[in-house]
């Protein structure tokens, strides 16, 4: 990396954002158009896995059953003293699948989810609710002005500083 932040610094900033923000916007596809829903989430060991507890009755769940492609957007809260364009935020893209109760890591995910959202315990008894696993492939992390980073699931702890796109030279 040629910028001032090391992979470790960016990783620490991502971890702080992920720990400090409990809800995000889940973007699903509805008739080939983006549809946003506010959802609570927990991450797995890194950003490549996130987990949601969704009702089958919700529109976003119906969308995922039709097309599993999604984006999850998380952001630090806006405050009057902050420049909203400099808020720390992350956009993740991937696919979702229902996490079956017999999956080897189901109990661990459920425990982690309930540790973060204890009021959700009742909903685990509802037959229309299920845990969903988001398998995230690409991450775009913004830590402020000029501090945008990209990562992929192949190397989730490596962050490339996003450079401004070069415009092609005009033809005469």
Q: Identify whether the C-beta of residue 148 lies closer than 8 Å to the C-beta of residue 142.
A: yes
Distance CA 118, CA 98 (A): 21
Q: pTM for this one?
A: 0.90
Q: Which domains does the chain have, with CATH numbers?
A: 7-161 (2.30.110.10)
Q: Which residues is 129 bridged to in the sheet?
A: 55
pLDDT of residue 172: 53
Q: Count the neighbouring beta carbons within 10 Å of the beta carbon of residue 117.
A: 16
- Please, what are the averages of pLDDT over each run of 10 residues along the chain (172 residues)? 73 94 97 96 96 97 97 96 93 98 97 98 96 98 93 94 67 56
């Amino acid at each position: 990396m040629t910028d001032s932040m090391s992979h470790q610094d960016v990783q620490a900033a991502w971890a702080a954002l992920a720990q400090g923000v409990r809800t995000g916007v889940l973007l699903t596809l509805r008739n080939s158009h983006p549809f946003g829903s506010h959802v609570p989430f927990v991450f797995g060991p890194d950003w490549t896995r996130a987990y949601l507890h969704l009702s089958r009755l919700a529109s976003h769940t119906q969308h995922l059953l039709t097309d599993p492609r999604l984006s999850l957007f998380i952001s630090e809260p806006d405050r009057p003293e902050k420049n909203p364009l400099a808020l720390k935020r992350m956009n993740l893209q991937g696919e979702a699948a229902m996490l079956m109760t017999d999956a080897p890591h189901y109990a661990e995910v459920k425990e982690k989810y309930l540790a973060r959202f204890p009021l959700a315990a009742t909903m685990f008894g509802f037959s229309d609710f299920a845990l969903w696993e988001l398998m995230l492939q690409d991450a775009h992390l913004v830590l402020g002005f000029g501090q945008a980073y990209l990562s992929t699931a192949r190397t989730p702890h490596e962050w490339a500083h996003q450079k401004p796109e070069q415009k092609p030279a005009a033809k005469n």
